[in-house]
Structure 1
Amino acid sequence: MEKLLQFESGSSMTGVVALGVLMIVSVLLLLLQGRKNGTLPPGPRPAWPVLGNFPALMGGQMPFLTLHKLSAQFGPLMYLRLGSVPCVVISSSEVAKEVLQVKGASFAGRPKRYGPAVIAGTSDFKNISLAPPGPYWRQLRKSCTHELFSPSRLASYEGARTDEIRIMLKELLIDSKKGDAVDVRGWLTGVTANNITRMLIKKRFFGKGPDINQEQKKDFERLIYRIYDEASAFLISDYIPYLQFVTELQGWTSRFKDIRNELTSTLLPRIFEVEKHKQRAKERELSGDSDSDYVPDFVDLLVGAPLDDGKPLSDNDISMMLTDLFLGARGTSATTAEWALAEFVIRPELMKRAQDELDTVVGKDRLLRESDLPHLHYLNAFVKEIFRFRPPAPFGIPRESTRACEVLGYSIPAHALVLVNQYSVHRDPSVYRNPNEFDPERFMEQPEVNHLSGVDFFQLIPFGAGLRTCPGNKLGNLLVLLMLGNLLHHFDWSLPPGECADSFDMSGVYTFVCSRKKPLFLIAKPRSPALLLG
């Protein structure tokens, strides 16, 4: 950053004067903007005319922590200027409710970002996460809600979820017998990913069984990790458009195009097999096949559904839609479960309480069923506390104001970037006692708090809230409960030799999600090996 702000030693007086004029003009523009927009929310004074408040956010790798500290000084509705982009930060449950519910229609937009636009091949986004509000987005969301995440559809995949958990538990049992620490992150990621791909395309891609195509698995993993790393990258041109040439000189355009080419050459034909689905649909239509036992997967539904003005989605739109769904579900569920098990092992008394509850509700002579989950009150409270204490996506997907409006007496300009800092909302001292302490007991005392509603309890919003609530929230929560419940029911967990709870590394790293900095490896001791092998 310092290099960006320094002059070359040989700079001429003309350059100095030009910079001075630029600074004066920028300050005047900022003042005029403030008058034009009325009374803006309080916030830190922009440090530089061009960069705005960026220098204040450059001090750490966790921007949600930086904004949390700033909100303590400037309040729960805070205004920043990031380059030329106005930005509003929400840091309390009261303001979150006002913005996401009361004024929800004014804050349902999505900012357009260069990386996703190049990857998609268009800035006219056709996936559920980034599509702008309007008839098409509503139709797309309705299709997902009714066809993929409806209660009946989720129930129809219960057998697949049970099967997947059991397959992966057997693999974990084999690994645990070696005596070494097992790769918990790998297991959680595999279970989550296979559950999603079985819903989308009825295939498994992760694990060690003979049904796993290892070459496809490697291609899939490499592409997914690359999308996570590069599509969420910070690009200065998203905030200062006339610095687009900097983004191009840094090589980002070619990287994003490479991802798009891989999606076209790998994901569509080899993983999602869109052409195969189209051919199957044609054959069924020509033959008049109306087999009532045939259960279409989600790609079948996307191929046959007229979503865009009566026209079917293009192959590229289908690819982006499926990638969007897969990334959203896989990242948050596996990350949350990994944090949860880490919290359990450094607090063995809490793990014992959860295991005692499982032994009482489920018993020791059968596997956990999904029908048991509502009766596991402590496990549910623990998962809520994990979502509160360590929200997997602290900002969710950023929003944009679609029009100028007023919030709690302050004027918010149109096209402002809106960041809902879940980290701060979940530590709102007006809602939670001792908000910085990890305490599942708080949700035993308040079991009515429902983080899945998106419209009632704005003190706990790990899946967002209002019009842009994550449509897969119930599946995400279910997978976390299922994976944790089974891991605790069938294994005792402890830290590797040489590790102790007081010094165990619980630091995180932030991209789009906030995951553990180090993958979780733990010692697993089977509690019921005969049951797993039965």
Structure 2
Amino acid sequence: MDTSATSAAILSNTTSLNATAVIGIIPSFLAASPQLSVFNAFLLSTFMLLFAVIKSQQSSLQGSKQLGRLPPGPMAWPVLGNLPEMLCNKPVFRWIHRLMEEMGTEIACVRLGSTHVVSVTCPKIAAEILKKQDAVFASRPESMAARTFSGGYKSAVLVPHGDQWKKMRRVLTSEIICPARHKWLHEKRVEEADNLIRYVFAQCGASRDVNIRNAARHYSGNVIRNLMFSKRYFGKGMPDGGPGIEEEEHVEALFNALGYLYAFCVSDYFPCLEGLDLDGHERIVKEASETMNKYHDPIVHQRIREWRNSSDIANKEPQDLLDILISVNDSNGQPLLTTEEIKAQTTEIMMAAIDNPSNVVEWTMAEMMNQPELLKRAVEELDRVIGKDRLVQESDIPHLNYIKACAREAFRLHPIAPFNVPHVAMSDTNVAGYFIPKGSHVLVSRLGLGRNPKVWDEPHRFNPERHLGDGVTNLVLTEPDLRFISFSTGRRGCIAASLGTAMTVMLLARLLQGFSWEKVPGSLEIDLSESEHDLFLARPLTVRAEPRLPLHLYPSF
């Protein structure tokens, strides 16, 4: 008997079979082939796996019929769902947004394997998910990259809902990201703002051409390394205040990690395929993790030894965030966090702090180069509020409304990522009249919210004025109505808005106050095209700088 043909016939009719019928088929299948080959055994195992998946999907569909219809989306294949379309349409986020635009919907559902992936571009629906029902959507999906970067789900942001998340969240809110700690670390942030001026000033003495992406990313990297480790460089750095080889490698690894964190990896929807690395994600994630660990782990291990082997620990004072993570104790006076938890949380804080400020400032500068009147108004505000006799400080931020309006507009139009960090439905629920099954991955679209034509006039135009309504005295970068996302909300939202605001506004304000900017000779207009694979500028912004303040204000080497 041709068992291959039998398997094919069974598979072709799987959707019409019930469990009893299948169980009845298996004994006869085995009886017909008492000497099953390895190949036939594999076929049988494959059939059983496919049947289990299909039954699970049928149960999900029956549940959706009982509780309501799923959000609109493309027709899905048996077992695979929309995986073939996903693989043929890269980058996936552009495919999803294109589908939503073609269907004319602000909530959509695609199925990847047995997972429903729901995307949202409407502020009201986003608020229902992140505010009204945030308890239902308080978990995170498990994924190869999240597991790797969180040390096996030992940190706070990437961890599924549970006791570990609650523990690490308490540590962050009470010990790391609190007003007292923000004030305590002020001098370290000022140190890096001064180093930024020093670095760009050095470029003015050379070619005068400044790679804004490079300067912004390394400013952000310097800030978070100083806050975490009390050091700017892992190596010696450069004489002009710029990054050394070690810092360049570290920042590249951080951005690679962020780029592949939730990048629709095939094995995230078909876990049995993990290890085959069919889309190449696993190699990139592994390399990024190894690079970060190479620089973080020796410092963490050495610092733990210094703290836990110290004979005078009672009088030892923390100097940075790593010291805080190591020194926090439980109710019995014992270290609260294990070494692995400290390492995982260190990596997560690094990843969380580096991308938003650098991306916002690069895009803002690029837009200003093409609209010089925006640049002029921003500089006029700086001269009026601060003058030219001192450098802008964090205490000036409440008075720099136009600078903050420019940053808000960049958050709106040019988000760092197409989607917010995914949420997982912990139970069946209904959102906007649609059924969302338990286990669904819900993606709130930063791109869709900020460019929603139902919310914003001329949504693709960079216009900071739209954020300056009557009576605004202290504009903030957060957006409570979710018309765009700068720092997310809800119980899984961003808890470091103060740090993010300080880093973003100081980076932009120092660059605009300290230097006059113009296009590189021969450039008629800055190309504002997005990268094919992400939302960064397709080409790093390079512009020409010239000092505009008295020379004694530029920090010396």
- Would the aligned equivalents of 2:418 and 2:447 in 1 still touch at CA under 8 Å? yes
The residue number in structure 1 matching 2:321 is 298
In the alignment, structure 1 residue 189 sits paired with structure 2 residue 189? no
- Would the aligned equivalents of 1:54 and 1:82 in 2 still touch at CA under 8 Å? yes
- Would the aligned equivalents of 1:443 and 1:449 in 2 still touch at CA under 8 Å? no
- TM-score of the superposed pair, with normalisation by structure 1: 0.86
In the alignment, structure 1 residue 287 sits paired with structure 2 residue 312? yes
Q: Following the alignment from structure 1 to structure 2, what is the Cα–Cα distance between the partners of residues 36 and 442?
A: 44
Larger radius of gyration: 2
In the alignment, structure 1 residue 42 sits paired with structure 2 residue 34? no
Question: What secondary structure, in the 3-state scheme, does the structure 1 residue paired with 2:13 have?
Answer: helix
The residue number in structure 2 matching 1:515 is 536
In the alignment, structure 1 residue 90 sits paired with structure 2 residue 115? no
- Would the aligned equivalents of 2:307 and 2:313 in 1 still touch at CA under 8 Å? no
Instruction: Specify the code of the residue in structure 1 equivalent to 2:106.
Output: P
Q: Following the alignment from structure 1 to structure 2, what is the Cα–Cα distance between the partners of residues 425 and 256?
A: 29
In the alignment, structure 1 residue 278 sits paired with structure 2 residue 301? no
Structure 1 unaligned regions, length at least 5? 1-11
In the alignment, structure 1 residue 323 sits paired with structure 2 residue 347? yes
Question: What secondary structure, in the 3-state scheme, does the structure 2 residue paired with 1:68 have?
Answer: helix
Question: What secondary structure, in the 3-state scheme, does the structure 2 residue paired with 1:79 have?
Answer: strand
Name the CA shift for 1:328/1:264 in 2 (closer, same or farther; >3 Å).
Answer: closer
The residue number in structure 2 matching 1:20 is 12
Question: What secondary structure, in the 3-state scheme, does the structure 2 residue paired with 1:466 have?
Answer: coil
Q: Following the alignment from structure 2 to structure 1, what is the Cα–Cα distance between the partners of residues 155 and 410?
A: 29
The residue number in structure 2 matching 1:157 is 185
The residue number in structure 2 matching 1:481 is 505
State which drifts further: 105-114 or 73-82: 73-82
Q: Following the alignment from structure 1 to structure 2, what is the Cα–Cα distance between the partners of residues 29 and 277?
A: 49
Q: Following the alignment from structure 2 to structure 1, what is the Cα–Cα distance between the partners of residues 73 and 110?
A: 7
The residue number in structure 2 matching 1:117 is 147
Question: What secondary structure, in the 3-state scheme, does the structure 2 residue paired with 1:165 have?
Answer: helix
State which drifts further: 17-26 or 167-176: 17-26
The residue number in structure 2 matching 1:132 is 160
Question: What secondary structure, in the 3-state scheme, does the structure 2 residue paired with 1:66 have?
Answer: helix
State which drifts further: 37-46 or 306-315: 306-315
State which drifts further: 132-141 or 351-360: 132-141
Name the CA shift for 1:443/1:250 in 2 (closer, same or farther; >3 Å).
Answer: closer
Q: Following the alignment from structure 2 to structure 1, what is the Cα–Cα distance between the partners of residues 519 and 331?
A: 52
Q: Following the alignment from structure 1 to structure 2, what is the Cα–Cα distance between the partners of residues 156 and 443?
A: 31
Q: Following the alignment from structure 1 to structure 2, what is the Cα–Cα distance between the partners of residues 307 and 46?
A: 52
Question: What secondary structure, in the 3-state scheme, does the structure 2 residue paired with 1:522 have?
Answer: strand
State which drifts further: 131-140 or 371-380: 131-140
Q: CA deviation at 1:376?
A: 1.4
Question: What secondary structure, in the 3-state scheme, does the structure 2 residue paired with 1:525 have?
Answer: strand
Instruction: Specify the code of the residue in structure 2 equivalent to 1:108.
Output: A
Name the CA shift for 1:380/1:505 in 2 (closer, same or farther; >3 Å).
Answer: closer
- Would the aligned equivalents of 1:365 and 1:531 in 2 still touch at CA under 8 Å? no
Question: What secondary structure, in the 3-state scheme, does the structure 2 residue paired with 1:106 have?
Answer: coil
State which drifts further: 198-207 or 372-381: 198-207
The residue number in structure 2 matching 1:369 is 393
- TM-score of the superposed pair, with normalisation by structure 2: 0.82
Instruction: Specify the code of the residue in structure 2 equivalent to 1:130.
Output: L
- Would the aligned equivalents of 1:464 and 1:470 in 2 still touch at CA under 8 Å? yes
Question: What secondary structure, in the 3-state scheme, does the structure 2 residue paired with 1:161 have?
Answer: helix
Instruction: Specify the code of the residue in structure 2 equivalent to 1:474.
Output: S
State which drifts further: 73-82 or 101-110: 73-82
Q: CA deviation at 1:173?
A: 1.1
- Would the aligned equivalents of 1:119 and 1:257 in 2 still touch at CA under 8 Å? no
Q: CA deviation at 1:505?
A: 4.3
- Would the aligned equivalents of 1:366 and 1:531 in 2 still touch at CA under 8 Å? no
The residue number in structure 1 matching 2:230 is 202
Instruction: Specify the code of the residue in structure 1 equivalent to 2:511.
Output: L
In the alignment, structure 1 residue 53 sits paired with structure 2 residue 82? yes
Name the CA shift for 1:159/1:336 in 2 (closer, same or farther; >3 Å).
Answer: same
Deviations for 1:308-342, whole angstroms, at most 9, x for unmatched residues? 99763332222221111111111121111111111
- Would the aligned equivalents of 1:400 and 1:416 in 2 still touch at CA under 8 Å? yes
Q: CA RMSD in A?
A: 3.1
Deviations for 1:99-125, whole angstroms, at most 9, x for unmatched residues? 111010000110000233245553xx1
1:457-468 residue pairs with structure 2 within 5 A?
Answer: 457-468=481-492
Q: Following the alignment from structure 1 to structure 2, what is the Cα–Cα distance between the partners of residues 380 and 349?
A: 16
The number of equivalent residue pairs is: 510
- Would the aligned equivalents of 2:195 and 2:241 in 1 still touch at CA under 8 Å? no
Identity percentage over the alignment?
28
The residue number in structure 2 matching 1:107 is 137
Name the CA shift for 1:40/1:307 in 2 (closer, same or farther; >3 Å).
Answer: farther
Q: CA deviation at 1:18?
A: 5.8
Name the CA shift for 1:527/1:506 in 2 (closer, same or farther; >3 Å).
Answer: farther
Q: Following the alignment from structure 2 to structure 1, what is the Cα–Cα distance between the partners of residues 178 and 544?
A: 37
Question: What secondary structure, in the 3-state scheme, does the structure 2 residue paired with 1:435 have?
Answer: coil
The residue number in structure 1 matching 2:521 is 497
Q: Following the alignment from structure 1 to structure 2, what is the Cα–Cα distance between the partners of residues 407 and 389?
A: 26
In the alignment, structure 1 residue 378 sits paired with structure 2 residue 402? yes
The residue number in structure 2 matching 1:3 is none
Deviations for 1:396-455, whole angstroms, at most 9, x for unmatched residues? 21111111112233221111011101111123334322223221111012748976557x
- Would the aligned equivalents of 1:141 and 1:471 in 2 still touch at CA under 8 Å? no
Question: What secondary structure, in the 3-state scheme, does the structure 2 residue paired with 1:497 have?
Answer: coil
Q: CA deviation at 1:79?
A: 2.0
In the alignment, structure 1 residue 532 sits paired with structure 2 residue 556? no
Question: What secondary structure, in the 3-state scheme, does the structure 2 residue paired with 1:493 have?
Answer: strand
Question: What secondary structure, in the 3-state scheme, does the structure 2 residue paired with 1:504 have?
Answer: coil
Q: CA deviation at 1:461?
A: 2.0
- Would the aligned equivalents of 1:181 and 1:524 in 2 still touch at CA under 8 Å? yes
